[in-house]
Amino acid sequence: MRTLLGPKVEVRIPRKPEYVSVVRMAVGAVASKMDFGFDVLDDIKLAVAEACNNAIEHAVVPEGHPNEITITCCLEQHQLVVIVCDPGVHPPPEKPAAQQAPDDLPESGYGLLLIQALMDELTWEPGPSGTTVRMVKRLAR
Amino acid sequence: MAGQNPAAPVAQQPAGRVEALFAELRKTGDPDLRERLIAEHMKLVRYLARKFSNRGEPLEDLIQVGSLGLLNAVDRFDPSRGTRFVTYATPTIVGEIKRYFRDRGWAIRVPRRLQEINQQATKAVDSLQQRLNRSPTIAEIAHTINATEEETHEALELGHMYELTSLDTELASQEQDEGVSLGEYVGAADSLLESAELRQRIEQALERLSPRERAIIKLRFFAGLSQTDVARRLHISQMHVSRLQHRALARLREGMREPA
């Protein structure tokens, strides 16, 4: 994972849907510190909320892992980086992709597609201690 | 572990059944097949539209503009590129939905809606306080004014920023500089201007002033010069600065209220 350069704000929430609005507000407030337009602010909030929803709905959390999601925002010079970590493993699709009709696509797939459409960069990393979604929104030059 | 790019387990999956159907469509131009592919992907449109449904436009309208995006994607997708159709279609559909909001001036209306909610919430706090004999909760306020808790919280949080316009009025009524504490004003302005959306609105409003009006506003309120100093700088009388400043603030206020 690349080093984060800039002031960081971290929020940790229980892996429950009622806490996603806390993340939305926190991320909105952090992103407001940068020169994003109002519509972009809402895109960022939507993307981060989507990553959290994914973590809540689709991650399978192994026993002993904390059932929490950590959201880290980093205000870099020309971009906002948001990293959403959940302690879960995302089950691979049961059927190979080639056999999947669109209606079979897991909503987690749609969610990541949406994030990708809203943000400038998106990486999704499964790891031994959980899954990390990293997204970047650049300031318009 | 190395980052997977461009993300998404689904987006990364190799082209498959749907993409094969597109290859066939490109070959045959079969209208029934085109219809079938559109129908199959309406679920994606509905999913995406739903995600934007909290922005105050009817879901049905969003599904409709989203379908436009889907139609475009269906007609433009090139299955020989090796990307999956959903990966190609999603930004097209989202783009169409976002354009719809842009065309309807959403980014201007939302701060105004928050402003309205703020006014309603402030009133609700008073009446609830009297009724309950204690300070109401966010949930109670939100319920009273028929807004979400998030909106209410945000509106109350942002609320004080919108007092900028009344600040202007106060300053405009000051004929001379002596009554204005510039340090105080500049300090307040700093925290006020932290909000990107507000700053954007101010900048848009500033753009609509004449160059001289703009210069006066910037020198007076951003650089903190007195009217006398501004007058010297611009080679006009202090009276003239006062008049121009008065007019510029009125136009700024007007500009902040109007959509860009």
Q: Tell me whether residues B44 and A100 touch, CB distance under 8 A.
A: no
Q: How confident is the model at residue B215 (pLDDT cuts 50, 70, 90)?
A: confident
Nearest residue in A to B108, CA atom: A38
Most confidently predicted of A14-28, A117-131, B3-17: A14-28
Say if residue B27's pLDDT is above 70. yes
Q: Is the peptide bond before A91 cis (omega within 30 degrees of 0)?
A: no
Q: In the predicted model, what is the mean pLDDT of residues A61-90?
A: 89
Q: In the predicted model, what is the mean pLDDT of residues A42-62?
A: 89
Distance of CA A59 to the CA centre of its chain: 13
DSSP string computed for B111-175:
HHHHHHHHHHHHHHHHHHHHHHSSPPPHHHHHHHHT--HHHHHHHHHHHGGGGHHHHHHHHHH-S
Nearest residue in B to A130, CA atom: B1
Q: Tell me whether residues A102 and B95 touch, CB distance under 8 A.
A: no
Task: For residue A41, give both structure tokens.
Answer: 């602010």
CB A68 within 8 A of CB A12: yes
Cα separation, B225 vs B88, in Å, equals 54
pLDDT, residue A99, reads 39
Cα separation, B54 vs B202, in Å, equals 26
Q: Tell me whether residues A108 and B9 touch, CB distance under 8 A.
A: yes
Least confident stretch, A24-33, B96-105, B160-169: B160-169
How many C-beta neighbours within 10 Å does residue B161 have? Answer: 18
Q: In the predicted model, what is the mean pLDDT of residues A62-89?
A: 90
pLDDT, residue B43, reads 93
**Residues of chain B with C-beta less than 8 angstroms from the C-beta of A36:** 196
Distance of CA B189 to the CA centre of its chain: 21
A100-113 burial code (b ≥16 CB/10 A, e <16): bebeebbbbbbbbb
Q: How confident is the model at residue A65 (pLDDT cuts 50, 70, 90)?
A: confident
How confident is the model over B146-176, as pLDDT tens digits? Answer: 988 888 888 887 654 444 333 443 444 444 4
Optimal mutation site among B51, B88, B161, B199, interface A, most CBs of chain A within 10 A: B51
Q: How confident is the model at residue B75 (pLDDT cuts 50, 70, 90)?
A: very high
CB B223 within 8 A of CB B217: no
How many C-beta neighbours within 10 Å does residue B45 have? Answer: 26
DSSP string computed for A56-86:
HHHPBPPTTS--EEEEEEEE-SSEEEEEEEE
Share of chain A above pLDDT 70, in %: 84
Cα separation, B198 vs A43, in Å, equals 17
Q: Tell me whether residues A103 and B43 touch, CB distance under 8 A.
A: yes
**Residues of chain B with C-beta less than 8 angstroms from the C-beta of A127:** 1
**Which is more confidently placed, B134 or B158?**
B134
Of B17, B94, B157, the CB nearest to A101: B17
Q: Tell me whether residues B86 and A113 touch, CB distance under 8 A.
A: yes
Q: Tell me whether residues A99 and B199 touch, CB distance under 8 A.
A: no
Q: Tell me whether residues B4 and A124 touch, CB distance under 8 A.
A: yes
**Which is more confidently placed, B250 or B74?**
B74
| Gap from A133 CA to chain B (nearest CA, Å) | 8
Of B95, B101, B197, the CB nearest to A37: B197
Global pTM reads 0.65
Q: How confident is the model at residue B188 (pLDDT cuts 50, 70, 90)?
A: very low
This model of the complex carries an ipTM of 0.81
